[in-house]
Amino acid sequence: MNYEGLDVGTSKEVVARVDLARKQRLGMPEAVYAHAKTTQEVVAIVRHHLGNSDEPVIVTRCRGEVVEEILAAEEVSIDRVHIFPDLDHESSYRTLVIGEPEPVGFKVVILTAGTSDLRVAYECKGTLFALGIDSELFADVGVAHVDRIFEVLPELDRFDVVIVVAGMEGALASVVGGLLPQPIVAVPTSAGYGSSLEGVTTLLAMMSSCAQGVSVMGIDNGFGAACAAFRISNRIGAARLSEEIF
């Protein structure tokens, strides 16, 4: 059985089926989307996972009270909790990684068009960490002052995958896609004014990009972008290993 049913509180109904074999199937650890869950449900799932698996667990979109309850749980060792962004930065939601991921040897860069896109970028960075991928973040390099992307361009060649996080009209994804040969994963964000339609304009613009081969995630889906980068990097690694063997 690949999951275990989990009751929460006094309910006799199964409210979660914790996936303890995801790492074996996909190479990626279990992830808990906290946004639409109660604090009690999130903490119960995390405690169950930690009690039955040695693999790290990712918790995304954590409200402040969820972070506090997880840190207070007796199964959680504070020195094994990694928080993105850290507690010194103001944030409505945080990504928690509980456990110590095994490095996989790939490098991913995250570019944000503006400071307003950092909330999504931190979710992406935290997920990459949980997947064992080394990442760097270059913030606020958008097209409002396009020289900024050219300033960091010489540093980007050393990364296997480029993730572009942008709101407004999402132009940075097209610019980067026309400049760099690596796989590009674009994340539209809901940052923008009325005509941005909470990210729909950005999403459609990125999907209509003239730059060939830009992959586009859903709105604000930093988690998905990190997982896409992991899948790409995994196949690159497998191909490199195969060439070395044969």
Does 85 sit behind a cis peptide bond, omega within 30 degrees of 0 on the bond before it? Answer: yes
Q: Which phi and psi (to 5°) does residue 217 adopt?
A: -90, 180
Give the list of residues 6+ apart from residue 149 with CB closer than 8 angstroms, or none.
Answer: 111, 141, 142, 143, 172, 175, 176, 179
Half-sphere exposure of 125 (CA within 13 A, CB side): 22
pLDDT tens for the chain, 246 residues long, are: 444 555 555 455 556 666 666 766 767 778 899 998 999 889 988 888 888 878 888 999 999 999 999 998 878 788 889 999 988 888 889 999 998 888 888 899 999 999 999 999 999 999 999 999 999 999 999 999 999 999 999 999 999 999 999 999 999 999 999 999 999 999 999 999 989 999 999 999 999 999 999 999 999 999 999 999 999 987 766 555 555 554
Q: For position 21, what pLDDT does the model report?
A: 60
List, in sequence order, every beta strand (DSSP E) within 107-150: 107-112, 134-138
Q: For position 233, what pLDDT does the model report?
A: 85
Give the list of residues 6+ apart from residue 61 with CB closer than 8 angstroms, or none.
Answer: 33, 34, 35, 93, 95, 123
CA proximity to 16, closest of 55, 76, 59, 56: 59
Q: For position 240, what pLDDT does the model report?
A: 58
Set out the domains of the chain in order of their start, with CATH numbers: 1-100 (3.30.1370), 102-246 (3.40.50.1970)
Q: For position 1, what pLDDT does the model report?
A: 40
Check the CA dihedral 202-208-211-217 and report its sign.
positive
Q: For position 180, what pLDDT does the model report?
A: 96
Q: For position 14, what pLDDT does the model report?
A: 58
